[in-house]
Structure 1
Amino acid sequence: MPGVLIDTDIAIDYLRGDQGVRPLLHRFWREGNAVLSAVSIFELTAGMRENERGATLDFIGACAVAEVTPDIAVRGGELYRQYRGQGVTLAAMDCLIAATAQVRGYQVATRNVRHYPEPGLLLALDGLRQ
């Protein structure tokens, strides 16, 4: 399996003790395909509680990191513009995460399926979708 881009919501669920996502993330780590976008690192650290700092940094350190490169930034802007033209407003951060997955050939592990309308982008998370 190629890399799996762990969306911020799944990372937060793991860090807050959600037993439903733990086996999934442990499998990704075991298989060596757990990836975090630099965007998710920003979101995680911006929203963490002070007492979560150590666990959050450990979580980040356990994943490969996908940086936002110029080609990812361009693709993210294109996605934002494309969906805005269809009357759908996506968060810029989600567009960058989606672009990272597209450019790098990853699938996105998320419960926030409405944030990622691009076909073929989402990893099937049986029992985890909202």
Structure 2
Amino acid sequence: MDDRRAPREQRAPRPTAASRERAPPQTAGQAGVNILVDSSVLIDVLRDRLGRPALLQRLVTHGSLLCSCDVTLAEVYAGMMERERPVTDVLLESLYYVPSDPQVARAAGLLRGEWRRKGVTLTLMDACLAALAMRRGLVLLSDNARHFPMKGLVVWTPHDAASKLP
């Protein structure tokens, strides 16, 4: 669907004014890493669990650009309680939205097929996240690191991310 024609409530969140001023995501050095935030972490932020809101704030303070994509948006909205909608909208609109493309979709399908042949079942959503992060040079921040066994994909758990901060 062409976002320009969709009703406002159906559009994917756009970057905030602050995130639009920054360059498109490219992995930088340790400080200022561009991070694709998995829904597992975003849900904990929304429910104020495990210190996740503070962790994301620290990452931003130290120069990281926090990103979302179609998969994270869909997973968060699917698991959201209706009363959480206003705060969910604000959180997701504050993230830099990284669009997918046909090459990412192809890479996701190839990843899923490759791991299936190895006897490992990846969900299509996880394969899409991994492919997007790898193709865009993003670090994937997830509580479910074991869901992402791919070589070439940098996955941080929240504990890993916290340990990299000063």
**Greater shift in the superposed pair: 14-23 or 48-57:** 14-23
SS at match of 1:126: helix
**CA separation of 1:54/1:77 partners in 2, compared to 1, >3 Å: closer, same or farther?**
same
User: What is the alpha-carbon distance in structure 2 between the residues aligned to residue 57 and residue 20 of structure 1?
Assistant: 20
Q: Structure 1: which 4+ aligned runs deviate by more than 6 Å?
A: none
Shift of 1:29: 3.2
Q: Residue in 2 aligned with 1:29?
A: 60
Write the letter of the residue equivalent to 1:18. Answer: R
Contact map agreement 1:83 1:89 (CA 8 A) in 2: yes
Taking the aligned partners of 1:115 and 1:74, their CA distance within structure 2 comes to: 19
Q: Deviations over 1:19-61 (max 9, x none)?
A: 4212221123332510012111011111111000011111111
Task: Answer yes or no: is the 8 Å Cα contact 2:60–2:66 preserved in 1.
Answer: yes
Larger displacement relative to structure 2 (32-41 or 89-98) = 32-41
Larger CA Rg, structure 1 vs 2: 2
Number of aligned positions between the proteins: 128
SS across alignment from 2:125: helix
> Kindly, what percent of the aligned residue pairs are identical?
30
TM-score by length of 2: 0.72
Q: Please, which runs of 5 or more residues in structure 1 have no aligned partner?
A: none
Q: 1:111 to 1:124 in 2, by over 3 A?
A: closer
Given the two structures, how large is their TM-score scaled by the length of structure 1? 0.90
Q: How far did residue 68 of structure 1 move?
A: 1.7
- Map 1:1-130 → 2, pairs under 5 A: 1-30=32-61, 31-119=63-151, 120-123=153-156, 125-126=158-159
Cα distance between partner residues in 2 of 1:28 and 1:60: 16
Structure 1 counterpart SS, 2:156: coil
> Would you say the 8 A contact 2:144–2:157 is kept in 1?
no
Q: CA RMSD in A?
A: 1.7
Question: For structure 1, which segment, 110-119 or 99-108, has the greater mean C-alpha deviation from structure 2 after superposition?
Answer: 110-119
Mean Cα deviation higher: 101-110 or 114-123 = 114-123
2:145–2:156 CA contact under 8 A, matched in 1: no
Whole-angstrom distance in 2 between the partners of 1:72 and 1:4: 17
